[in-house]
């Protein structure tokens, strides 16, 4: 679990006092997530989630929250939207960090996504992409291509010589296809559509998507890259081997709303490689940050970490697939 910033009951009560959300009953750190600090907050009226952004400045939070609010207003996709206080303000500061409060959305995490979950998330992702086309706001991917190129300098001390060679070779490949990549259909993407960022309700036999969470990597990039991030997490084993039927269900769900064009078909394998590369790198970086943040004297209590090697291995498999 990750609670990098501990909050006292007094701090939570002071924040709630600005809202019409009732009196604090209890609050507790959330046992998931690796980037931000999250608390479940229960009042005598509401079930809420309080998020403190550990890396994003307030101006950036405003941008991805604009996307969440846009989806909330226009889209068929359920997402958490920050609640406004009595003065209409939704962005707050706690412990020197940007903070928001959202409703706690219904549903549970799925341990191992099945065909119906994969189909549903594919369709929802395509709907999210299309809904984003009417949002007139620019937000480039700050963990996209330019960021990947800076990463060897940041992470080389953490990885072996073989891994450094793998990274260099993959970056060269992504550089070689860059001009075609830029021709792919682009728009707003979720940017982090792992299965721990979705909640499902069960209605009879059928799982129903309750929420898509964690829009804190939302930005503009190639749409199939977003789907590739999803496929690499939802539709394979942790060892990277495809669960083929689940992958096909994801693709069918997506394309039931928004079919691929020919260039997207041609670059699907490159998108899978790019998606694995991005999360290998970000997990390496998160591990570095956690080591710094959790040193004695810092206020954080606990942190989970996700294994960078899982994504490095997936990258190796996707590279093999694209050569076969």
The interface with ligand ATP within residues 59-88 (CB under 6 A) comprises 80
Window contacting ligand HSE (CB under 6 A); options: 49-57, 167-175, 248-256, 277-285: 277-285
Q: Is 197 in the site for ligand ATP (CB under 6 A)?
A: yes
Closer CB to ligand ATP, 83 or 177, in the complex: 83
Q: Tokens 């959202």 map to which residue?
A: 102
Q: Which of 92, 283, 314, 319 binds ligand HSE (CB under 6 A)?
A: 283
121 binds ligand HSE (CB under 6 A): no
The token duo for 147 is 């960021």
Pick from 3, 99, 102, 155 the residue near ligand ATP by CB under 6 A: 102
- Segment 235-238 long-range contacts (CB within 8 Å, at least 24 positions apart): 235/113, 235/118, 236/314, 238/310
Q: Per rule CB under 6 A, is residue 34 in the interface with ligand ATP?
A: yes
Under rule CB under 6 A, residue 194 binds ligand HSE: yes
Nearer to ligand ATP, 52 or 166 (CB): 52
Give the gyration radius of the chain's Cα atoms.
20
At its nearest, how many Å lie between ligand HSE and the CB of residue 287?
10
Should residue 33 be labelled a site residue for ligand ATP when binding is judged by CB under 6 A?
A: yes
Residue 34 C-beta: closest distance to ligand ATP, Å: 4
Work out whether 279 is an interface residue with ligand HSE (CB under 6 A): yes
The one of ligand ATP, ligand HSE, none whose footprint includes residue 283, by CB under 5 to 8 A per kind, is ligand HSE
Among 94, 128, 213, 272, binds ligand ATP (CB under 6 A): 213
State in angstroms the smallest separation of the CB of 196 from ligand ATP. Answer: 5
Alpha carbon 177 to its chain centroid, in Å, reads 25
Q: Is 120 in the site for ligand HSE (CB under 6 A)?
A: no
- Taking the complex as a whole, the smallest distance from the CB of residue 227 to ligand HSE amounts, in Å, to 15
Phi and psi for 240 in degrees, rounded to 5? 100, -15
Least gap, CB of 141 to ligand HSE (angstroms) = 13
Which positions from 103 through 142 interact with ligand ATP, judged by CB under 6 A? Answer: 104-105
From the list 196, 201, 294, 300, which residue makes contact with ligand ATP (rule: CB under 6 A)? 196
- For the record, the structure tokens of 83 come out as 């609640």
Binding partner of residue 226 among ligand ATP, ligand HSE, none, CB cut-off 5 to 8 Å per kind: none
Helix 145-155 and helix 161-176, axial crossing angle in degrees, nearest 10: 160
With respect to ligand ATP, which residue has the nearer C-beta, 33 or 308? 33
Residue 284 touching ligand ATP (CB under 6 A): no
Site membership for ligand HSE, residue 147 (CB under 6 A): no
Supply angle C-alpha 214, 216, 220, rounded to 5: 120
Sites of contact with ligand ATP (CB under 6 A): 2, 30, 32-36, 38, 49, 80, 102, 104-105, 192, 196-197, 211, 213-214, 216
Sites of contact with ligand HSE (CB under 6 A): 34-35, 192, 194, 217, 279, 282-283, 306
């Amino acid at each position: 679990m990750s609670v990098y910033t501990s909050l006292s009951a007094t701090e939570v009560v002071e924040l709630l006092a600005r809202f019409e959300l009732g009196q604090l009953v209890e609050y507790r750190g959330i046992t998931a997530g690796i980037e931000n600090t999250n608390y479940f907050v229960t009042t005598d009226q509401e079930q809420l989630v309080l998020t403190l952004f550990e890396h994003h400045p307030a101006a950036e939070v405003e941008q991805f929250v604009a996307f969440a609010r846009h989806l909330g207003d226009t889209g068929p996709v359920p997402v958490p939207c920050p609640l406004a206080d009595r003065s209409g303000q939704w962005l707050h500061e706690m412990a020197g960090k940007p903070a928001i409060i959202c409703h706690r959305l219904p549903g549970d995490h799925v341990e191992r996504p099945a065909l119906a979950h994969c189909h549903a998330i594919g369709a929802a992702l395509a709907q999210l992409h299309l809904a984003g086309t009417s949002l007139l706001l620019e937000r480039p991917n700050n963990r996209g291509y330019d960021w990947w190129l800076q990463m060897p300098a940041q992470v080389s001390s953490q990885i072996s010589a073989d891994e450094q060679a793998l990274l260099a070779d993959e970056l060269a490949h992504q550089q070689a296809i860059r001009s075609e990549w830029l021709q792919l259909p682009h728009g707003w993407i979720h940017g982090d559509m792992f299965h721990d960022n979705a909640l499902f309700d069960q209605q009879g036999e059928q799982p129903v998507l309750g929420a898509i969470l964690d829009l804190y990597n939302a930005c503009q990039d190639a749409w199939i890259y977003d789907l590739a991030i999803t496929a690499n997490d939802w539709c394979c084993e942790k060892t990277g081997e495809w669960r083929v039927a689940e992958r096909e269900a994801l693709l069918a769900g997506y394309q039931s709303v928004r079919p691929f064009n020919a260039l997207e078909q041609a670059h699907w394998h490159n998108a899978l490689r790019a998606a694995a590369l991005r999360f290998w790198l970000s997990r390496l970086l998160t591990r570095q940050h956690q080591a710094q943040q959790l040193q004695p004297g810092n206020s954080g209590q606990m942190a989970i970490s996700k294994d960078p090697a899982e994504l490095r291995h997936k990258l190796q498999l996707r590279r093999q697939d694209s050569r076969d």
